[in-house]
Amino acid sequence: METPMYQSNHRKIALGLSLIPGFGQLYNRQYVKGISFFILAASFLIVFKDLLNMGWWGIFTLGEVVGRDHSIFLLVEGILAVIISVFGLGFYAFNLRDAYKNGQKRDLGLKISSLREQYRALVDNGFPYLMISPGFILLVFVVIFPIIFVVLLAFTNYDLYHSPPAKLVDWVGFQNFIDLVKLDLWRKTFINVLAWTIVWTFGATTLQIALGIFLAIIVNQKDLKGKAIIRTIFILPWAVPAFVTILVFSGMFNESFGVINKTILASLGIGPIEWMTDPFWTKVALILIQTWLGFPFVFAMTTGVLQAIPNELYEAATVDGASSWQKFTKITLPLVLYATAPILITQYTFNFNNFNIIYLFNGGGPAVSGQNAGATDILISWIYRLTMTSAQYSKAAAITLLLSLVVVSVALWQFRRTKSFKEEDMM
Amino acid sequence: MDMKRQKLIRLTLSYAVILAMTIVIVYPLLWVVGSSFNPGQSLSGSKMIPDNATLAHYKKLFDTSQSDYLIWYWNSLKISTLTMIFSVILVSLTAYSFSRYRFIGRQNGLMTFLILQMIPNFAALIAIFILALLTGLVDTHLGLILVYVGGAIPMNTWLMKGYLDTIPKELDESAKIDGAGHLRIFFQIVLPLAKPIIAVVALFTFIAPFGDFILASVLLRSKEKYTLAVGLYDLVAKQFGSEFTTFAAGSVLIAVPIAILFLSFQKYFVSGLTAGGTKG
């Protein structure tokens, strides 16, 4: 049925000629387009020829001659080559499709759009791409590129002993992950750090959420005076930059000079507590500080929700003879949790990666014998330690990969439940 | 009578809780302020209400021959402001296209952003560092700003898209019928209506670099390039406690303006977050 409709074979010829970008367009008598396609493609090849050549070789071999080849730079060039190739192939596919479509138009005896019409179409259809591209290109280089790099690094043996330029780095497959499970030192550290990360994430976050909601409900009581000033005070910990407060707290918790041991606990008749050297008390201090830092956010959100709950609900409940406790558990809490759930879950992922507090309070310490992470190191601060102090890059990358998998699956699970996924138009 | 007593007990308990929380919140803050006026240098001697209050530490911070504090302050302001400007521009453009146009790759793009916003960009620390080494952007503010802006895009785009989705589409459609171009609709119709969320994004992207420690400490090498977070940590970490009062003065000078800025924008903040966050 299809073939008889075409009176000629322009589409095939245009497609064939387009194997050299621009020629198909020239054949279709779209001269400006053809020439600009050709120039674009040619300059693409000229500019990136060396990088592509070097990169594709580099990403497979990671270098062959010690001294001449720097494995890590080759890896970087390799990823760049892959990204650039993807862009290039995208353009090439567009070029082929364009030539074919216009050839088809000619075959069907339709008029090919003039230069002005092409320009309009380009502006109309291309406008969203044009708007996105600056942000997207930046994103590719500072976010996506590093992620690809880390993923690849997790499968190499890049560490202090395999460090360019003196040594070459090699692909080692899943060796890093196997080491994490099999080697005693790594397994023990990994399990301890993971366990504390989980306790930390759930403990600190749940406490801050509970306190935030509790205080919001207390302050929201109708007959309570001075709401505005109380709310301002309760927001303060959120308003002060966290790194300042954490450093201040680490001064206050200082074992020998800090105000907590010296003044507060002493006046209560309690002896000094080892906030910085005893793992248990350091953990307690960290959770307390994070609760202090984090509850105002939940407090503010909950207050917003509470003020939006219509009063009639409570009045109706009173008429039906509900007690205050029933009103709380059946009306207030479900509404608050429903409205703030997505934001509350981001609080968990935030604390899961809350590097600042762990590092600034006590540097992840105190040190523990028999493992290469401090007692309060969470995964992200352990990664930092491995990268910055012991140059265990590939292990750090492997752990990053595991960590990201956890975070991404939590994120996807969360967003699958939210509205936006179900409403087709939103996505 | 019983109702009244119940109410009295309830209110008294509430005020007791509020009072206790207020002390817990305000005590550390007042303590830093007090420490910053203490005459001595060390942590051990610092008191909340000092005996002979002094402004010496503030003077020291403002004296460029004795400390780099003013330089750090300037660096932080510069980096935060530039990050804010670039982020707001890029985020507005991206969020607007995602909200208003239906183009090939939109769904995948949104999905990518969703996943990316969950991975903190400092997770790829090593890669960022090596990439910066390779491009010569180590120890430059430009490198840091680029990383901050890139990292701010995914999350803030979702936030702003969520808000833009609530602005009725009929507005721009009728403008289109009246002959307004793409840019005109964007600048004259949608952007003015999106002011609250722009304020939120601006504040977020201004404060985030201010509070960031990890990326700045990895990328910045020389002392005169430091931001406040790195500089203050440096001041306090080298010999803990020995320069504590100077550190306290430095903290006060950061915390006060940021807190005022924050409190004055707080309303926008919460409404923007709940609108963008729950919808998005």
Query: Tens digit of pLDDT for each residue in B56-84?
Result: 888 888 887 778 889 999 999 999 999 99
> Which stretch of A56-65, B7-16, B226-235 has the lowest confidence by average pLDDT?
A56-65
Between positions 159 and 188 of B, the ones with CB within 8 A of A are: 162, 165, 182
- The pair of three-digit structure tokens given for residue B71, joined into one six-digit string: 């330089």
Backbone angles phi, psi at A79, to 5 degrees: -65, -45
Q: What is the mean pLDDT of residues A15-35?
A: 85
Hey, is the C-beta of A252 within 8 angstroms of any chain B C-beta?
Answer: yes
**Contact flag A240-B258 (C-beta cutoff 8 Å):** yes
Taking contacts as CB-CB distances below 8 angstroms, the residues of chain B near A388 are 218
* Nearest-CB residue to B229 (from A76, A243, A411): A243
Q: Which residue has the higher pLDDT, A292 or B211?
A: A292
**Contact flag A128-B97 (C-beta cutoff 8 Å):** yes
What is the per-residue pLDDT across A227-247, written as a single tens digit (0 to 9) for each? 889 988 998 998 888 888 998
- Spatial separation of the C-alpha atoms in residues A395 and A387, rounded to whole Å: 9
Residue A249 has pLDDT above 60, yes or no: yes
Between positions 191 and 220 of B, the ones with CB within 8 A of A are: 207, 210-211, 213-214, 218
- Spatial separation of the C-alpha atoms in residues B233 and A247, rounded to whole Å: 8
In the prediction, which pLDDT does A216 show? 92
- Spatial separation of the C-alpha atoms in residues A376 and A289, rounded to whole Å: 14
Q: How far is A149 from chain B (nearest CA, A)?
A: 6
**Contact flag B134-A247 (C-beta cutoff 8 Å):** no
Q: What does the mean pLDDT of chain B come to?
A: 84
- Predicted confidence band of residue A51 (pLDDT cuts 50, 70, 90): confident
Closest CA to A171 of A62, A30, A304: A62
- Exposed, middle or buried by CB within 10 Å (0-12, 13-18, 19+), for A161? exposed
> Which stretch of A97-106, A115-124, A370-379, A402-411 has the lowest confidence by average pLDDT?
A115-124
Q: What is the mean pLDDT of residues B42-63?
A: 75
Residue A68 has pLDDT above 80, yes or no: no
- Spatial separation of the C-alpha atoms in residues A386 and A399, rounded to whole Å: 10
Hey, is the C-beta of A343 within 8 angstroms of any chain B C-beta?
Answer: yes
**Hey, of A54, A133, A169, A244, which one would you mutate to test binding to chain B, going by the most B CBs within 10 A of its CB?**
A244
Backbone angles phi, psi at B125, to 5 degrees: -45, -55
Between positions 130 and 169 of A, the ones with CB within 8 A of B are: 131-132, 134-136, 138-139, 141-147, 149-150, 153
Residue B275 has pLDDT above 70, yes or no: no
C-beta of residue A68 within 8 angstroms of C-beta of residue A78: no
Residue A1 has pLDDT above 50, yes or no: no
Distance of CA B169 to the CA centre of its chain: 31
* Nearest-CB residue to A146 (from B26, B128, B271): B128
**Contact flag B270-A259 (C-beta cutoff 8 Å):** no
In the prediction, which pLDDT does B280 show? 35
Closest CA to B29 of A239, A52, A395: A239
Hey, is the C-beta of A35 within 8 angstroms of any chain B C-beta?
Answer: no
- The pair of three-digit structure tokens given for residue A24, joined into one six-digit string: 């198909």
**Contact flag B274-A360 (C-beta cutoff 8 Å):** no
**pTM for the whole thing?**
0.83
Hey, is the C-beta of A270 within 8 angstroms of any chain B C-beta?
Answer: no
HEC letters along chain A: CCHHHCCCCHHHHHHHHCCCCCHHHHHCCCHHHHHHHHHHHHHHHHHHHHHHHHHHHHHHHCCCCECCECHHHHHHHHHHHHHHHHHHHHHHHHHHHHHHHHHHHHHCCCCCCCHHHHHHHHHHHHHHHHHHHHHHHHHHHHHHHHHHHHHHHCCECCCCCCCCCCCCCCECCCHHHHHHHHCHHHHHHHHHHHHHHHHHHHHHHHHHHHHHHHHHHHHCCCCCCCHHHHHHHHHHHHHCCHHHHHHHHHHHCCCCCCHHHHHHHHHCCCCCCCCCCCHHHHHHHHHHHHHHHHHHHHHHHHHHHHHHCCHHHHHHHHHCCCCHHHHHHHHHHHHHHHHHHHHHHHHHHHHHCCHHHHHHHHCCCCCCCCCCCCCCCCHHHHHHHHHHCCCCHHHHHHHHHHHHHHHHHHHHHHHHHCHHHHCCCCC
Closest CA to A246 of A209, A281, A291, A213: A291
Between positions 11 and 40 of B, the ones with CB within 8 A of A are: 11, 14-15, 17-18, 21-22, 24-26, 28-29, 31-32, 35
Q: What is the mean pLDDT of residues A208-224?
A: 90
* Nearest-CB residue to B90 (from A135, A240, A408): A135
Angle among Cα A350, A352, A356 to the nearest 5 degrees reads 70
The percent of residues above 90 in pLDDT, for chain A, comes to 16
Residue B240 has pLDDT above 60, yes or no: no
ipTM at complex level: 0.85
Hey, is the C-beta of B255 within 8 angstroms of any chain A C-beta?
Answer: yes
Q: What does the mean pLDDT of chain A come to?
A: 85
In the prediction, which pLDDT does A426 show? 47
* Nearest-CB residue to A240 (from B29, B153, B248): B29
> Which stretch of A207-221, A290-304, A360-374, B35-49 has the lowest confidence by average pLDDT?
B35-49
Q: What is the CATH number of domain B68-240+247-279?
A: 1.10.3720.10
Q: What is the mean pLDDT of residues B115-131?
A: 77
- Spatial separation of the C-alpha atoms in residues A387 and A394, rounded to whole Å: 9
Chains A & B: contacts with CB separation below 8 Å: 262
Taking contacts as CB-CB distances below 8 angstroms, the residues of chain A near B21 are 215, 234
Closest CA to A75 of B125, B143, B127, B150: B127
CA dihedral B37, B40, B43, B45 (to 10 degrees): -100
Hey, is the C-beta of B263 within 8 angstroms of any chain A C-beta?
Answer: yes
C-alpha dist (Å) from residue A139 to A78, B206, B266: 18, 19, 29
In the prediction, which pLDDT does B87 show? 96
Residue A359 has pLDDT above 80, yes or no: yes
